[in-house]
Structure 1
Amino acid sequence: MSTELKFRFAERKDVSLILKFIKDLAEYEKMLDEVIADEPTLEEQIFDKKKAEVIFAVVGGEEVGFALFFHNFSTFLGRAGLYLEDLYVLPEYRGKGYGKAILKRLAEIAVERKCGRLEWWCLDWNKPSIDFYRSLGAEPMSDWTVYRLSGDTLKKLAQ
């Protein structure tokens, strides 16, 4: 069996695997209790409504990492970008270049689609990831603060 790294886009049959990777990432980020996503919701949002896409990093027929991403839009650039929501490599496969390869594949997709940029958020405490992203030339957006409305607060504003 080949140990060469390959990529594939997720298919509908992969919904349970997508949810497993999401939960593994959430556990790593100490946020598992915040995951309310379930398989029917992911299937509807990713495959029926096409709100996001998923690629898997595959080695020897096994999915060893994943990235979930979607398009956003920059009015200043006048073009779409790719927003990386989740990137995760299974612990036993870390340190082998798979995370970098996933980001490289996402950059290729962004360039193929004529996107203006590839961006993501990273938790402030996640120094290993921050160091990794900086090593690739990624720049933190220190002049910006993320704001969020969700749950009851979002519903209240919508009324």
Structure 2
Amino acid sequence: MTIYETTIPDFKIRTAEEKDVNLILNFIRELAEYEKLSNEVVANEEILYESLFVKHQAEVIIGEYKNLPVGFALYFHNFSTFLGKANLYLEDLYIKEEYRGHGFGKAMFGCLGKICMERGCGRLDWWCLDWNESSIRFYKKMGAKAMSDWTVYRVDGQALAELAHRVHFKG
């Protein structure tokens, strides 16, 4: 476990451990409720354990205030062909509502920046819901800029299954 000491009294950030799977799932559920997307959460402890600690498909940092978990960030590497190097993609950053406004989100965001720099990543990317004005203001304060010239596309569910079977492969 890596611990990132912050200048905020009684606040530290640490990498998640296997014992944190239930905690991470609870943060995901709280975030989904905040984003009005609770019906989309299908993750469970088994899926998260395998994805995070067996397949290492993503990583998590946890923010703790007075040794109580108050937030998390889940991220993974993607790759920029134009930069020719890996980047970090932030899937979720969440601070419990009662702990917002104390600089914990800024510290978590800064920790992700530190991880990017330590790993030689070219950038940190993420998406934000258009209606989430408080998060948009926060991200802009952190130096982020909206990529309004890009549109996000997604293939999932039945369309993904059909896509995978459009071309027949040998073997």
| TM-score (norm. length: structure 1) | 0.97
Question: What is the letter of the counterpart of residue 147 of structure 2?
Answer: M
Kindly state the Cα deviation for residue 128 of structure 1 after the two structures are TM-superposed: 0.4
Residue identity (%): 59
Q: Cα deviations across residues 13-60 of structure 1 (Å, max 9, x unaligned)? A: 110000000000000000000000010000001100000000001111
Secondary structure of the residue aligned to 2:22 is helix
Q: CA deviation at 1:65?
A: 0.6
Select which of 92, 95, 109 maps to 1:89.
Answer: 95
Partner residue in 2 for 1:17? 23
What is the rounded CA distance, in whole Å, between the counterparts of 1:59 and 1:133 in structure 2?
A: 22
State the distance in 2 between where 1:135 and 1:84 align. 17
Alignment counterpart, residue 51 of structure 1, candidates 54, 57, 61: 57
Q: Which amino acid aligns with 1:136?
A: M
Structure 2 gaps, min length 5: 1-7, 166-171
Measure, in 2, the Cα distance between the counterparts of 1:150 and 1:38: 19
Residue in 2 that maps onto 1:75: 81
Is residue 2:39 matched to residue 1:33? yes
Higher Cα radius of gyration = 2
What's the secondary structure of 1:57's corresponding residue? strand
> How far apart, CA to CA, are the structure 2 residues paired with 1:89 and 1:103?
11
Displacement, 1:135? 1.1
Residue 117 of structure 1 aligns with which residue?
123
Counterpart amino acid of residue 82 in structure 2? F
How far is the alpha carbon of 1:136 from its aligned partner? 1.3
In structure 1, the residue matched to 2:66 is 60
1:145 pairs with one of 143, 151, 154: 151
Q: Which AA in structure 1 matches 2:153?
A: Y
* SS of residue matched to 2:148: coil
Larger RCO: Structure 1 or Structure 2 (Cα < 8 Å, ≥ 6 residues apart)? Answer: 1
Amino acid at match of 2:62: F
Q: Which runs of 4+ in 1 moved over 4 A?
A: none
Deviation at 1:3, TM superposition (A): 4.9
Residue 5 of structure 1 deviates from its aligned partner by 1.1
Counterpart for residue 5 of structure 2: none
Query: Which segments of 5 or more consecutive residues in structure 1 lack a partner in the other structure?
Result: none
